């Protein structure tokens, strides 16, 4: 279960980093704004999940 939580955290962070890379390499402002909006949406969606996974993984670590 602990490994599953950390794998989920890693996947979320990797997804966010890929989106930032895409945003940084877009050449036109219009696409950049769209990418920025998508990144903001993803952050808002992932933040509670990431916080829950970190809390859960930390609790498991403290129990062991």
Cα–Cα distance for residue pair 22/38, rounded to 1 Å = 11
- What is the per-residue pLDDT across 4-62, written as a single tens digit (0 to 9) for each? 787 887 777 777 666 666 666 566 555 555 666 676 777 777 777 778 888 888 888 88
pLDDT value for 9? 77
Neighbours of 9 (CB within 10 A): 17
pLDDT value for 55? 85
pLDDT value for 8? 80
Contact predicate 44/28, CB 8 Å: no
In this prediction the pTM is: 0.37
Q: How many domains does the chain have?
A: 1
Task: Name 15's Cβ contacts closer than 8 Å, sequence gap at least 6.
Answer: 42, 46
Q: Which range of residues forms the domain containing residue 29?
A: 2-63
């Amino acid at each position: 279960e602990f490994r599953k939580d950390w794998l989920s955290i890693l996947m979320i962070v990797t997804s966010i980093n890929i989106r930032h890379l895409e945003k940084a390499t877009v050449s036109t402002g219009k696409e950049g704004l769209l990418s920025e909006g998508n990144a903001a949406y993803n952050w808002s969606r992932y933040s509670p999940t990431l916080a829950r996974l970190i809390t859960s993984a930390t609790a498991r670590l403290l129990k062991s």
